[in-house]
Amino acid sequence: MKKFLRNPLTVVGCVLFGGIVLLALLAPILPLADPNETNLRDRLLAPGSDGFLLGTDTLGRDILSRLVWGTRVSLAVAAAATLIAAFVGSLIGLCAGFFRGWVDTVLMRGIDMVLAFPYLILALAIVAVLGPGLLNALIAIAVVNIPFFARSVRGTALTVSAMPFVEAARIGGQPRLRTLFAGVFPNVLPVIVIAMSTTLGWMILETAGLSFLGLGAQPPQADLGSMLADGRKVMLVHPHVGLLPGVCILILVIGINLIGDGLRDWLDPRLEGGAHSAPGAATSATRAADIEPDETTGDALVRVRDLEIVFGEGEASEPAVHDVSFSLKAGECLGIVGESGSGKSVTAMALARLVASPPGRITAGSIHIDGIDVLSASEETLRGLRGARVGYVFQNPFDSLHPVIPVGKQLAEAVRAHGGADRKAAEVRKRVTGLLDQVGIPDPEKACRAYPHQFSGGQCQRIAIAMALANEPKVLVADEPTTALDVTVQKRVLELLARIRREHGLAMVFISHDLGVVREVADKVIVMRRGKVVESGNVVEVLRNPQHEYTRRLIASIPRLGAGPEQSLGLDDSGKTEGGT
């Protein structure tokens, strides 16, 4: 409840809508005049007249009373129509999305037929056939809103039905209907609730619209639309008669929409906490005091000092990374090890200010790469840095590659991004095949035309490495590049990285949760735990003489052939089994 009401606009919506609903519900016990009692002596009195708080209409009826009773009617019709449309539409959408095949075809073609008619004209046609009246207006607006629910629910149901847990239920022989209502339905419910909250507002407008045209509420019954129509006749001389129901409709619809927005934020946690604004192009960096890089690291390519990164707003948020310092010369390889969640990836992303912001912020420290002060660099400087001077290789190669663009094209794009868009096609192609050849992809010409799914995981990782190398970066950041691969492929990718480092004289930041892997590629290592560097130094020395308890456990967890399970499983399982992400 607190979360729901945190947004002030939601509170405003609740107050507006809740107040009107309360009035409408209390209509029978409020001391109101009879809404239909005409009194021709007191026609068109202004608001505030004796005994008539909001004045009277063309037949001398009390506007306040009619407004309250009319709102009651409008709300009841709109709510009933919403419920009917939501029920029928969601059922159609659920069945179409879940059963697919011919059920989907038949149901959705039916929906398409309804959709083929303009919305209001269809409602008018339905009322014309059924005859004017509130009940018929209700049926009409319910029917025309069914497709809206059916379509949005079907989309979500399709996605949910393809999820592994639904397939597991199917294979496991769970009755289909049970899977539908116990498995799929709860996941679709938020979509239905959000759709209902927006539809209710439309429904009020549509009911009012039909009544305004004389097709909904029939005299003498009041509803907001028919009151509006009455007021229109005397709009110029007695504007209050039409304005009051108009304002009432406005407040109702605004209230409902604000509540709908609040509901959406509440039901979809991804929209929370600054997600209203998309992350910026660079991590926001606020430096309390200008920290100059360490003098002793003057000639290093990468210099990071006292880096601190915080997620979320507020003083209470713990930094995800703090006091991280390291430096790296050309040709050197720094290994960063630590269990998953220890801040390795966040540190690596921060090097090119790639941590999403919001929620991430660099709150202290300094980063210098190849002479560029990264934390105070402009967006343009950063663009020149990313890809051109700092290349990234990530854990899952499939995430780095576009699924429906041939590999050659993607590599060409990477080559062109920094090498000037006007490079000749043949020249670019030569470079692309050269890159693929360099990372050991057989038959590069043919590989260029293939799509990522036609390669194995290891090959995709090679292509991702080729892409990172496209602009001959000086620094290569590899974030668990082999974690998603099996051990033999891992070995070959590691060899590839080592060879590339030798040939290009690259500085490399190699991240892994596995000290055994880091031992093979890195010269220096920092061990991270809970966002802090707990140990750093030369790999051989750290391995030979670990100072920190956590490093000792990491070393003990490197499996050795011939060692019994007691020796090789020395770590509390968090780091090894999850395979850091």
In this complex, which beta carbon is closest to ligand ADP, that of residue 251 or of residue 356?
356
Kindly state the smallest distance separating residue 366's Cβ from ligand ADP, in Å. Answer: 19
What are the residues binding ligand ADP (CB under 6 A)? Answer: 311, 320, 338, 340-346, 356, 359, 580-581
Torsion of CA 430, 436, 438, 440, to 10 degrees: -150
Kindly state the smallest distance separating residue 502's Cβ from ligand ADP, in Å. Answer: 27
Which tokens sit at 185?
Answer: 């339905």
> Which partner from the list ligand ADP, Mg ion, none does 341 bind, CB cut-off 5 to 8 Å by kind?
ligand ADP
Cβ contact 558:539 at 8 Å: no
In this complex, which beta carbon is closest to ligand ADP, that of residue 317 or of residue 567?
317
In this complex, which beta carbon is closest to ligand ADP, that of residue 320 or of residue 382?
320
Kindly state the smallest distance separating residue 388's Cβ from ligand ADP, in Å. Answer: 24
Among 15-23, 317-325, 339-347, 361-369, the segment contacting Mg ion (CB under 5 A)? 339-347
Of all residues in this chain, which one has the CB nearest to Mg ion in the complex?
Answer: 345
Cβ contact 151:111 at 8 Å: yes
> Which partner from the list ligand ADP, Mg ion, none does 342 bind, CB cut-off 5 to 8 Å by kind?
ligand ADP
Which tokens sit at 312?
Answer: 């979320």
Q: Smallest Cα–Cα separation from 445: which of 402, 408, 416, 405?
A: 408
In this complex, which beta carbon is closest to Mg ion, that of residue 261 or of residue 339?
339
Q: Smallest Cα–Cα separation from 307: which of 294, 326, 333?
A: 326
In this complex, which beta carbon is closest to ligand ADP, that of residue 52 or of residue 394?
394
Q: Which residues of 268-285 are buried (b: 16+ CB within 10 A; e: fewer)?
A: eeeeeeeeeeebeebbeb
> Which partner from the list Mg ion, ligand ADP, none does 392 bind, CB cut-off 5 to 8 Å by kind?
none
Kindly state the smallest distance separating residue 309's Cβ from ligand ADP, in Å. Answer: 8
In this complex, which beta carbon is closest to ligand ADP, that of residue 124 or of residue 324?
324
Cβ contact 499:469 at 8 Å: no
Q: Smallest Cα–Cα separation from 568: which of 488, 528, 514?
A: 514
Q: Which residue from 136, 211, 257, 345 is in contact with Mg ion, where contact means CB under 5 A? A: 345
Q: Phi and psi of 294, rounded to 5°?
A: -55, 135
Cβ contact 411:444 at 8 Å: no
Kindly state the smallest distance separating residue 355's Cβ from ligand ADP, in Å. Answer: 8
> Which partner from the list ligand ADP, Mg ion, none does 202 bind, CB cut-off 5 to 8 Å by kind?
none
418 burial via Cβ count (<10 Å: 0-12, 13-18, 19+): middle
Of all residues in this chain, which one has the CB nearest to ligand ADP in the complex?
Answer: 345
> Which partner from the list ligand ADP, Mg ion, none does 431 bind, CB cut-off 5 to 8 Å by kind?
none
> Which partner from the list Mg ion, ligand ADP, none does 260 bind, CB cut-off 5 to 8 Å by kind?
none
Cβ contact 435:470 at 8 Å: yes
Cβ contact 568:559 at 8 Å: yes
In this complex, which beta carbon is closest to ligand ADP, that of residue 344 or of residue 353?
344
In this complex, which beta carbon is closest to Mg ion, that of residue 409 or of residue 530?
530
Residues that bind Mg ion (CB under 5 A): 345
